[in-house]
Amino acid sequence: MSNHGASGCGRFDFIVVGAGVVGCAVARKLTLEGARVLVLEKATDILDGASKGNSALLHTGFDAPPGSIEQGCLADGYREFLSIRERLSLPLLACGALVVAWSNAEAAKLDAIVDTARANGVDDARIIDAAEVRRREPAIGDGVTGAVLVPGESVIDPWTTPYAYLLQAVLNGARVERGCELLRGEYDGVSWRLGTTRGDFEGACVVNCAGLYGDAVNRMLIGTPLFEIRPRKGEFVVFDKSAARLANAILLPVPSERTKGVVVCRTIFGNLLVGPTAVEQPSRDDASVDERVLEGLVRHGARILPALANHPVTATYAGLRPATEEKDYRLHVQPDPPYVSVGGIRSTGLSAALGIANLVAREVAGIVAGGDRPAAIEWPEMRSLSAYGERDWQRPGNGGIVCHCELVTRREIDDALDGLLPARSLGGLKRRTRATMGRCQGFYCSARLAQIAANRFDEPMATELSE
């Protein structure tokens, strides 16, 4: 095992464990505050845990429990995303959401949903009647009894967004170690010394953002798990792009205590999504899909939008929520030894990440002496993969199209394989470009991609394709 870590790069102010959306946002914030930040990620590439498979909704927090940590982080994260997204060229589909009631009993719950939204500062949420729902959503099925309209709910890019956060951290001096699993750590009274699969690293404070392994990392470093991760699987079906015109807003059910329920919405990439389910399971890694569950989702989608029955399914996937025995986020901050744990970021982390990062930065201010904020902040410019804006294939000099289903250009592939945080796996390349994620699922472009990406990945592409 090499020991290049501590010896090669000195002492960091913060060592962030995990490069999911939360770790990416936390690393960005602490770096922009002037700290020396190191991110450790055990997977070959970033965003390979819970952040790999979500619904990609930017939540206002209208339905979060008022006064919860989650609600505070959602409100702040939502605000900040809107304030920085244009600087980072991050796309947004501002389509609004409808919480649709399908019975009188559900309609009776709409007032309470609006009350909660108002308590959370989402003042523009309002009830609309069935006729108004139908006017807004001509393809919706029979039986609607009313809805709550939440204009601020939106759809974003689930991967370019956190990738931009981490890229900005790196541009401004943060270091990221991928394929670098934290194995042990101790505090000597002055510094943490963390042992990883890529050597030892030294830092003043650890920020645990390990998602589905948050409790395990707490146990490893501070001797107590603080909470118990109870992975909750959510399966999805992705319909062909032809189906996207069937929905305008994000169509939500009236939620239950346990889950927001199955959503029908467009994706930023121009598809239509139905999901997720919510089933607790012991495995923290098993994101397999079940054919019967998927069939159920297809039937569910066709009840909400009957014409969906005529559209093919392009892809299926599942994500695992890092849920715990409690509903709220689990934040733990201690001064001695300096340590922060941000866990249980269950089902809203994509939206709340920037708010979580602000909260962490405020909490650590009294624990670790801060550095000087950089005189000038660097901003990476991301390539938008949105189907609702201009794409690279429409611009000159793009080197031609490699993935024809998703219209991914040679220039986009080359960029994803180069730069400060190049793709290290086929999964990483897919998330950066969408190559292989379209109708043919890589049947036509995989051979060419393998040629272009030869020797760039830790595992040969053929191995990943056969998994």
CB of 179: closest distance to ligand FAD in angstroms? 9
Q: Which is nearer to ligand FAD, 19 or 249 (CB)?
A: 19
Residue 123's Cβ-side half-sphere holds a number of Cα atoms within 13 Å equal to 1
Tokens of 49: 């845990």
Q: Which is nearer to ligand FAD, 167 or 350 (CB)?
A: 350
Q: Which is nearer to ligand FAD, 140 or 320 (CB)?
A: 320
Give the DSSP H or E segment for 297.
helix 291-304
Q: Which is nearer to ligand FAD, 22 or 206 (CB)?
A: 22
CB of 410: closest distance to ligand FAD in angstroms? 29
CA distance 204 to 36: 10
Question: Which amino acid, 426?
Answer: L
Classify residue 216 by burial, with Cβ atoms within 10 Å: 0-12, 13-18, 19+: middle
Q: Which is nearer to ligand FAD, 217 or 308 (CB)?
A: 217
CB 46 within 8 A of CB 19: yes
Classify residue 62 by burial, with Cβ atoms within 10 Å: 0-12, 13-18, 19+: buried
Classify residue 147 by burial, with Cβ atoms within 10 Å: 0-12, 13-18, 19+: buried
Estimate to the nearest angstrom the gap between the alpha carbon of 419 and the chain centroid. Answer: 22
**What pairs with residue 194 in β-bridges?**
185, 201
Q: Which is nearer to ligand FAD, 277 or 446 (CB)?
A: 277
Give the DSSP H or E segment for 29.
helix 21-32
Tokens of 404: 């024809």
CB of 392: closest distance to ligand FAD in angstroms? 26
Q: Which is nearer to ligand FAD, 91 or 234 (CB)?
A: 234
CB 277 within 8 A of CB 297: yes
Place of tokens 């039937």: 299
Q: Which is nearer to ligand FAD, 140 or 357 (CB)?
A: 357
CB of 229: closest distance to ligand FAD in angstroms? 10
CB 44 within 8 A of CB 430: no
Which positions touch ligand FAD (CB under 6 A)? 17-23, 40-43, 48-51, 53-57, 59, 181-182, 209-213, 217, 234, 276, 319-322, 345-351
Cα four-point dihedral sign 323, 26, 97, 318: negative
CB of 402: closest distance to ligand FAD in angstroms? 27
CA distance 250 to 132: 15
CB of 186: closest distance to ligand FAD in angstroms? 15
Q: Which is nearer to ligand FAD, 199 or 322 (CB)?
A: 322
Q: Which is nearer to ligand FAD, 48 or 157 (CB)?
A: 48
CB 407 within 8 A of CB 391: yes
CB of 326: closest distance to ligand FAD in angstroms? 15
CB of 21: closest distance to ligand FAD in angstroms? 5
CB 358 within 8 A of CB 76: yes
CB of 74: closest distance to ligand FAD in angstroms? 8
**What pairs with residue 206 in β-bridges?**
15, 339
**What pairs with residue 176 in β-bridges?**
39
Place of tokens 């979500």: 54
Cα four-point dihedral sign 396, 400, 405, 406: negative
CB of 252: closest distance to ligand FAD in angstroms? 11
The residues, any chain, with a CB within 8 Å of residue 108's CB and separated by 6 or more, are none
CB of 114: closest distance to ligand FAD in angstroms? 21
Give the angle subtended at the CA of 253 by the CAs of 385 and 71, to the nearest 5°: 70
CB of 232: closest distance to ligand FAD in angstroms? 7
Q: Which is nearer to ligand FAD, 21 or 403 (CB)?
A: 21
Name the phi and psi angles at 449, rounded to 5.
-60, -40
Q: Which is nearer to ligand FAD, 351 or 409 (CB)?
A: 351
CB 146 within 8 A of CB 53: no
